[in-house]
Amino acid sequence: MNASHNQKPDPGHRDDFVARLIALKRHEQPDPYFETRNLAALREKLAHTAPGRAWGQRWFGWLAGESMPAFRMVVAACLLALLAANLLFLQSAPPDRPTAAEPAPVVAAESTAPTSEVLQVASTNESLDLYRKPVFVFEYPSNRHPVGPVQMGPRSVPVRYDF
Amino acid sequence: MADDVNKEAPEALDPPDSVLVARAREGDYSSYEELVRRYQRRVYALVYNMTSHKEDAEDMVQDVFVKAYQSLHGFKGDSSFYTWIYRIAVNRTINFLKKRKRHAYDLRLDDMDQAVERDEAYVELRSRESPVRDVTLTELQKKLNAALQTLSENHRTVVVLHDIQGLPHEEIASIMDCSVGTVRSRLFYARQHLQRELAEYAP
């Protein structure tokens, strides 16, 4: 491409000419009735549209009665159904925390200075989750035994300082 | 006193865009219609030159002005109404063109006015000692539009705004929400591409 540019004596002139050629498109004109037609079509489209308002104003207007009553009823019914379903779900769900009736096993943890007795009980109590390994443990592989280039990148080279 | 009246009269007859926007926001549709009247031709030219399809351009212009009316609250007045409406037009047209890419389409071109025959570039083309002097206006128009359609949407937008509509780089950067350097660079590459497409007409 550069070679072809160099062959031509005046690339700036060519560039300018292309721009002027493209500018001929300024002479393309819409038909004379375009403006009237466009204004009429817009008037028809915007006849029932309020000028742009903020979303808060739009919601207020909608609630105040700009929407169709039947549509408002349907939306209200949907919201009520969702609320009822949510309440039912909360009531039927099994409790995932100890209730007040059963003693909480983590009492030992609340004391500021746990005695050896408490610690012993805690360590033997299987219901405690304190010493259980979590389900997901992210352990990085050792740097000495890289699993592969994806996880660890290239194998590390030991550095010697004794010379 | 008479001078004051004379000074105020044109403004009252021809209020600035900001006044019309404020009135339109309050629900005065006639003010919005005045804004449409002022800019519809320019917006049409922009969309038409990007789509090379007059019916699509007409639909798109209506769509742009409807969208602008619905978003008047979003117009903060940081830029001119003209820049703002152009930004809407450019974004919506680019979206339209991306969708249109998937379908086949024909060019549907407007007629050229008589003044084209006195245009410097056209006169220069016709005075050449080469076969291009015999090109008809319709053929040339088709060729120009086809060449423009081979550009990417962003490059085409820059060419249309700069070379056809004559906007300065700074305003194009504001409309396209990019830097002036990006505008210059896009214009440079777009012209290089057009040079190749229109090589037969180049001097």
Tens of pLDDT, residue by residue, chain A (163 residues): 333 333 443 555 666 888 989 999 999 999 999 999 999 999 999 887 767 665 666 666 666 666 677 777 888 899 999 999 988 888 877 665 555 555 555 544 454 555 566 556 555 555 556 666 555 555 555 555 555 555 555 666 666 666 5
A residues 30-49 lying closer than 8 A (beta carbon) to B: 30-31, 34-35, 37-39, 41-43, 45-46, 49
Cβ contact, residue pair A52, B74, below 8 Å? yes
Instruction: Say whether B66 and A45 touch across the interface (CB within 8 A).
Output: yes
Size of interface A-B (CB pairs under 8 A): 135
End-to-end CA distance of chain B, in Å?
A: 60
Residue at token pair 């070679």? A3
Question: Would the CB atoms of B27 and A50 count as touching at under 8 Å?
Answer: yes
Contact B112 A28 (CB under 8 A): yes
Q: Are A6 and B110 in contact (CB under 8 A)?
A: no
How many CB atoms within 10 Å of residue A109? 12
CB B107 within 8 A of CB B52: yes
Q: Which residues contact B198 (CB under 8 A, 6 or more apart)?
A: A18, A21, B143, B144, B147
Residue in B with minimal Cα distance to A41: B62
Q: Which of residues 103-122 of B touch A (CB under 8 A)?
A: 109-113, 115-116, 119-122
Burial class (CB within 10 angstroms; exposed 0-12, middle 13-18, buried 19+) of B28: middle
Higher pLDDT, residue A7 or B90 = B90
Phi, psi of A148 (to 5 degrees): -175, 175
Pair B203, A17: CB distance under 8 Å: yes
CA angle B7/B11/B16 to nearest 5° reads 145
pLDDT beyond 50 at B163: yes
Which residue in chain A has the smallest CA separation from B72? A52
Identify the residue with better confidence: B12 or B86: B86
Q: What's the alpha-carbon Rg for chain B, to the nearest Å?
A: 20
- Quote the radius of gyration of chain A (alpha carbons, Å): 38
- The confidence score (pLDDT) of residue A75 equals 83
Higher-confidence position of B164 and A8: B164
Other C-beta atoms within 10 Å of A162: how many? 3
B201 alpha-carbon distance from chain centroid = 24
Q: What angle do CA A120, A122, A124 make, to 5 degrees?
A: 70
Judging contacts by C-beta atoms under 8 Å, the chain B residues touching residue A24 are: 112, 116, 119, 121-122, 140-141, 144
- What is the rounded distance in angstroms from the CA atom of residue B24 to the CA atom of residue B30? 8
Residue B201 has what pLDDT? 84
Three-state secondary structure along A126-157? CCCCCCCCCCCCCCCCCCCCCCCHHHHCCCCC
Q: Give the pLDDT confidence score for residue B123 in this predicted structure.
A: 87
User: Cα dist. B154→A104, B1, B54, B95, B161 in Å?
Assistant: 66, 52, 20, 11, 11
What local confidence, expressed as pLDDT, does residue A121 receive? 56
Question: Is B191 close to A19, i.e. CB distance below 8 A?
Answer: yes
Q: Which of B46, B69, B28, B77 is nearest to B161 (CA)?
A: B46
Q: Measured between alpha carbons, how far is A100 from A78 in angstroms, rounded to an integer?
A: 36
Whether B147 contacts B159, CB under 8 Å: no
Q: Which residues pair with B166 in a beta bridge?
A: none
Q: What is the enclosing helix (H) or strand (E) of B111?
A: strand B111-112
Contact between A38 and B163 using a beta-carbon 8 Å cutoff:
no
- Tell me the HSE value of A73 on the side-chain side, using a 13 A CA sphere: 3
Mean pLDDT across chain A:
68
Q: Which residues on chain A are in Cβ contact (under 8 Å) with B126?
A: none
Answer yes or no: is pLDDT of B164 > 70: yes
What is the tens place of the pLDDT at every residue in B122-158? 888 888 877 777 888 899 999 999 999 999 999 999 9
B29/A20 CB distance under 8 A = no
Nearest CA-CA partner of B94 in B38, B123, B51:
B51
Interface test with B, best of A17, A28, A36, A48 (most B CBs within 10 A): A28
Please name which of A39, A41, A33, A47 lies closest in space to residue B33, comparing C-alpha atoms. A39
Chain B residues closer than 8 Å to A50 by CB: 27
pLDDT category of residue B182 using cuts at 50, 70 and 90: very high
Q: What is the pLDDT of residue A138?
A: 56
Is pTM beyond 0.90? Reply is: no
User: Would you state the pLDDT for residue A162?
Assistant: 63
Which 3 state secondary structure label does DSSP give B110?
A: coil
> Which pLDDT score is estimated for B176?
96
**Which residues of chain A does B115 touch, with a Cβ-Cβ cutoff of 8 Å?**
27
Place of tokens 């925390």: A97
Structure tokens belonging to residue B194: 């057009």
Residue A61 one-letter amino acid? G
The 10s digit of each residue's pLDDT in B29-70 is 999 999 999 999 999 999 999 999 999 999 999 999 999 999
